[in-house]
Structure 1
Amino acid sequence: MALIRKAGIALAVTGAAHFAAPRLFEPISRAGFPHDTELWIKRNGATELALGLALVPRRTRRAGLVGVAAYFGWLGTRVARHRQEEPEKG
């Protein structure tokens, strides 16, 4: 099994876990989505499930890779932006 295919399966399982155990993702999700965190947990889970499944078959792998790169870039931007907006503690 190709490495990308295994990564796709892992990403899909992680996406599904957002629905099975959303509380596990709350602390992580709150960093990039401080408002409506529960809704964003579901949205991100659906996105990760879809992108993970796109990585499994060769036919959709290229599109899946582009999607994964865009998605993780967007997530990183969200987290960085919300960290800048946090008031300093102390």
Structure 2
Amino acid sequence: MPEKTSGGSRIASLVGLGLAGVGVAHFVKPELFDDVTGQAFPRETRKHVYIDGGIETAIGLGLASAKTRKLAVLGLLGYGAYLAGNVARNR
């Protein structure tokens, strides 16, 4: 039986799927992410493009499911702090 979702839950699922799509795009067109990733990871940038793509795909899929959403939100907060810290460190 399909899960009933509230409007907010549906939006969270769509945001999650969008983030997962951006994550997959890191593998399909990695050159699109080189400049922005290079700000946080100036060395071995392409490697980090792929790592970030994997993380974003996983977090996005976690957000898309109500069962894993809370954990995915924690992951998203940690990932944001990790990226912000690397950008600040490399300025």
Task: Give yes or no for TM over 0.5.
Answer: yes
1:3 matches 2:3: no
The CA distance in 1 between the partners of 2:80 and 2:16, in whole Å, is 14
- Of all paired residues, the percent bearing the same amino acid is 34
Question: Residue 22 of structure 1: CA displacement?
Answer: 0.3
1:39 matches 2:47: yes
Q: Return the match for 1:21 from 29, 36, 39.
A: 29
Instruction: Give the RMSD, CA atoms, in angstroms.
Output: 0.9
- What is the TM-score with the length of structure 1 in the denominator? 0.89
Runs of 4+ in 1 over 3 A off after TM superposition: none
The CA distance in 1 between the partners of 2:20 and 2:39, in whole Å, is 22
Number of equivalenced pairs: 83
- What is the TM-score with the length of structure 2 in the denominator? 0.88
Q: Report the 3-state secondary structure (helix = DSSP H, G, I; strand = E; otherwise coil) of the residue aligned with 1:53.
A: helix
What is the letter of the counterpart of residue 43 of structure 2? Answer: H
What is the letter of the counterpart of residue 18 of structure 1? Answer: H
Question: Residue 44 of structure 1: CA displacement?
Answer: 0.3
Task: Show structure 2 runs of 5+ residues with no match.
Answer: 1-6
Q: Return the match for 2:78 from 64, 67, 70.
A: 70
The CA distance in 2 between the partners of 1:61 and 1:72, in whole Å, is 16
Q: Please give the per-residue CA displacement for 1:40-88, whole angstroms capped at 9, x wherever unaligned.
A: 00000000000000001110000000000110111011101101xxxxx
Task: Show structure 1 runs of 5+ residues with no match.
Answer: 84-90
What is the letter of the counterpart of residue 68 of structure 1? Answer: L
Question: Residue 7 of structure 1: CA displacement?
Answer: 1.3
Question: Residue 3 of structure 1: CA displacement?
Answer: 2.1
